[in-house]
A and B are shown apart, each in its own frame.
Chain A
Amino acid sequence: MIEPEHNSEEVTRVLFQDFPEWMVVSFYIVAFAAIAVFLYGCYVQIRKYRRGASVNIKDIGHGIADMVKSMLAHKTLKRRDKAAGHAHALIFFGFALLFIGTSIITLDYDITGPLLGLNFWHGSFYLWFSLVLDIAGVALIGGLLYMMYRRKWLALPKLDYARPDRSPEDPDYDRNSYRREDWAFLWTLIIIGITGYVLEAARLVWLAGDPTVWDYRWWSPVGTALAYVFQGLGMSAEGGEALRLYSWWIHGVLALAFIALIPFTKVKHIFTAMGSLALRDPTPSSRLPMVDLEGDKIGYNRITDFSWKHLLHLDACTKCGRCHEACPANATGYPLSPRDLVLSLREFAADKLEKGSLPKDGDALSVLGDGPNQIRSETLWACRTCSACVEICPVGIEHVPMITEMRRQLVEQGDMEPTVQTALQQIQKKGNSFGENKRKRPAWTKKLDFEIKDARKEPVDILWFVGDYASFDPRYQKVSQAFAKILNAAGIDFGILFEAEMTAGNDVRRVGEEGLYQHLAESNIETLEACDFQRVVTTDPHSFNTLKNEYPEFGGKYNVQHASTLIRKMLNSHEIKLKKKLSNNTVTFHDPCHLGRLNKGYDAPRESIQMLGANLVEMKRSRDNSFCCGAGGGRIWTPDPVDHEKPSENRMREAAEIEGLDTFVVSCPKCMNMFEDSVKSTGNEKNIKVREVIELVAECMGLDDAPEPADEKSTAEA
């Protein structure tokens, strides 16, 4: 190798090389203008968020740490769409490196150089810098090419912005402008990337005679390869010089325009997504926002009622469609898509809150209604608060709390299904949604051949909070009886609250009737406080969720367990003695949302089933991707219309695809209620039985003396 005649530590790239002064000045004018536009845009956005309601942010330090972690790992982006996640990582890291690189040049040339006489962008630092940025450019362009391919050729349904809940005449039906913006974004970035290489290659062709450039060309491998192509095509040094000048300007102006437009376009998700993730509430759906009932208003009606944090969440949405795909309401044709809800609200906020002043007529700020970008009440009532949307959202948007806040307003206005109204009125009067007399709550215990302790009168180890459906639903009463028998056989010291128990209020709160919820919580806590017990156990995931996560805010801090956890423990410790196993059964398990997604109780029911010896086969959608039975969030009180598929039917059809399936196992009274219906309405009742984990355990313990309902049927038919 020939020793260079120059000092390699002085190698660098001469900025604005051979530019006339007016050109350099022009560039700085454009650059400052771009930064000014960017800053103005940021001001408009921040002003918009500040027009939202205030909110307490807890533990922002943790939030930021989590955000940085999930951003670096791209964890949330890779879920259920690995390829898109990897492509995004290429774009993200490529862009980040290129942006940092450009900033380093600015730092050296415009700040530390002129102000401190400190220049560091030369020599080996410069060479490594060139190499890293060349590779970053490949990553960026590669990622963008995949995204273009994905948008154009994969034709993913989740990327179709047409709204299933609008008709083509509606102004907010297909949102074509989003599609144009997506493509403008991809093309702008890819052209910036490509012109970067063209410019680099043209410069090499132009300065091929300069050893301080040419000898180091392989530190920019892509540019160099392209330079050889140009030379091969007959490009001269002069040609290189001219091309370099043009591509320099195209590259520079596009990059600056890109920066200027960040706050005005989807590009802002760079910032809003980070903010949204950092501010994310770790338990958005399991513990709904607290309300001061004495306050002037309740819930979200006007867009200015939204907390600034929720307004920021809206802007973080990148329309990735994961929630659209996961939502059980959307999947079965109800007029709700979490994505469309978020986008409507975002457009509404942009329309009303980005202008210099707020509209004079406060009612113009109401998000509830049938107008463009308003949220219809039927949309809000379609939600089952299963939290599939919140759980999969890669940027931490809190759909369920927002929906609940809007429902709180609907409840206040009295705008709800008559059946929901009846249920709430029954709960107001009688403490249960069945409209049954309080005295009937413990009626299911009469069929037992032993007495259950009254936890109000004597101390117990386990206080069993039975819940509404487990007390009154005739099918699930059998499960409650089986659970009592299991506990009794295992010698567990347990008791119930008899008629003093009221519905826990999980669904009442999710419907948006916060006043009634708080009344229920306070009444139940008062009852519980007067009892002597070690832990609370319930078979109902809804009661479990609210007792565990929501009662503490009202002073009810208890050790709360779901029955499946207790069952698993008793199986492990052999407190439960099995007389037989289910080795001949092929079963599948349906995760209840309030046990699984909301409280991560995925394993206890599965391990219990496996300890019974059954062959457990998973459905395609399981665990965090479990598909809601359709009963949550108060939807159990609204009959589903007969003319379209119910979520529970959709689910049962999925289960029926499992070869040889004989038992569909649930672990929730409401799931039981839904699937007992759908197993019949989908024509699967002959092949598949719907049973509770508890019933399986009772059967294996030899406690199920009563014949099974399906058996009765088969003998009757025979």
Chain B
Amino acid sequence: MKILVAVKQIAALDEDFELREDGKDVDPDYLDYELNEWDDYSYEEALRIMEAGGEGEVEIVPVTVGPDEADDGLRRCLAKGGERGIRIWDDAITGSDPSAIARILVKVIEREQPDMVFAGTLSSDHSFAQTGMAIAAGLGWPHAAVVNHLEYKPGDSSAVVHRELEGGLEEKLSIDLPAVLTIQLGINDPRYASLRGIKQAKSKDIEVLSHGDLGLSDDDVGEKGSLSRVRRMVIPEKGQAEMIEGTAAEQAERVAQIVKELKGAA
């Protein structure tokens, strides 16, 4: 059997950063790229299924949509297990929203024919939480989002999943394969990828495809293929906090003064 794990090399912000001149994104000088935290968990879950199976019984393939730098994320996965990865990129893909990314991944999935597709519940940079579910919609497969526990033995035709609901409620459901699952943090303890492992994963095969290779036209990807576009990014004004210092009497006086000011303003 085969599990495809959709991963993303996300942009992590410094504490101090500035926006790009066009105001649509953060200045790349202030970004670090790293594997999305959720993907560590979804890949770990796939690894565990692979390890529960016999030699060669389960294949896991990390797949990502992203530029050259995204290879690092795939290597970090391959350092832990798996023999090959897939990366889809060309310039036309720039500006794709989750619906366009999902369209690309659906094509990859149709080609690879996996039994399960894992994705992180969301990515920490844009927090859309849509890609996984959009893939399921595109494929017409059963799906479960925000999975925090998975019971599955290689070879079974269905899996039992637990989902985290509001208010501490948990839903337990069984799902027929093939299926798409988005994985929540905390489902497992992801293992560490040693630097040696990451370096050695450089010898593993990463297949690089363009949208054309997958039979998609320029209108299917990028801004044209997307349902949403970024108009502007802004840093909201922060609320003003004031530390009140001094003796108890001084502090009380200041508090009273603030209350009066607020009342006056109202």
Binding site for B on A (CB under 8 A): 293, 298, 411-416, 418, 421, 424-425, 428-430, 437, 439, 513-516, 518-519
Given contacts A429-B32, A429-B34, A437-B14, contact A413 B196 (CB under 8 A): no
Of B14, B34, B190, B194, the residue contacting A515 (CB under 8 A) is B194
Q: How far is the CB of A414 from chain B (nearest CB, A)?
A: 3
Identify 29 residue pairs between A and B in the complex whose beta-carbon atoms are under 8 Å apart, listed by A's number: A293-B196, A293-B199, A298-B196, A411-B192, A411-B194, A412-B196, A412-B197, A413-B191, A414-B80, A414-B190, A414-B191, A414-B193, A414-B194, A415-B191, A416-B192, A421-B192, A424-B192, A425-B192, A429-B32, A429-B34, A437-B15, A439-B14, A513-B194, A513-B195, A515-B194, A515-B198, A516-B194, A516-B195, A518-B195
- A-B contacts at CB below 8 angstroms, number: 41
| Smallest CB gap from A424: residue in B | B192
Q: How far is the CB of B248 from chain A (nearest CB, A)?
A: 14
Q: Give the dominant DSSP class at A's interface.
A: helix
- B189 in the interface (beta carbon within 8 A): yes
- By a CB distance below 8 angstroms, the chain B residues around A439 are 14
State in angstroms the CA–CA spacing of A519 and B189 once bound together: 26
- By a CB distance below 8 angstroms, the chain A residues around B191 are 413-415
Q: Are A519 and B194 in contact (CB under 8 A)?
A: no
State in angstroms the CA–CA spacing of A413 and B197 once bound together: 10
Given A414-B193, A439-B14, A519-B195, 11 further pairs, Cβ under 8 A = A411-B192, A414-B191, A414-B192, A414-B194, A425-B192, A429-B34, A430-B32, A437-B15, A513-B194, A515-B195, A516-B195
- By a CB distance below 8 angstroms, the chain B residues around A519 are 195
- By a CB distance below 8 angstroms, the chain B residues around A515 are 194-199
State in angstroms the CA–CA spacing of A412 and B192 once bound together: 8
Binding site for A on B (CB under 8 A): 14-15, 32, 34, 80, 189-199
State in angstroms the CA–CA spacing of A425 and B191 once bound together: 11
Q: Are A514 and B196 in contact (CB under 8 A)?
A: yes
- By a CB distance below 8 angstroms, the chain B residues around A413 are 191
- By a CB distance below 8 angstroms, the chain A residues around B190 are 414
- By a CB distance below 8 angstroms, the chain A residues around B80 are 414
State in angstroms the CA–CA spacing of A429 and B11 once bound together: 13
Give 4 nearest A-B pairs by CB, closest first: A414-B191, A515-B196, A515-B195, A414-B192
Of B15, B34, B194, the residue contacting A412 (CB under 8 A) is B194
- By a CB distance below 8 angstroms, the chain B residues around A416 are 192
- By a CB distance below 8 angstroms, the chain B residues around A298 are 196
- By a CB distance below 8 angstroms, the chain A residues around B15 are 437
Q: How far is the CB of A220 from chain B (nearest CB, A)?
A: 67
| Smallest CB gap from A412: residue in B | B194
- By a CB distance below 8 angstroms, the chain A residues around B189 are 418
State in angstroms the CA–CA spacing of A439 and B34 once bound together: 18
| Smallest CB gap from A415: residue in B | B191
Q: How far is the CB of B48 from chain A (nearest CB, A)?
A: 12
| Smallest CB gap from B12: residue in A | A429
State in angstroms the CA–CA spacing of A459 and B59 once bound together: 56
Best-surrounded residue of B14, B32, B80, B192 (most CB of chain A within 10 A):
B192
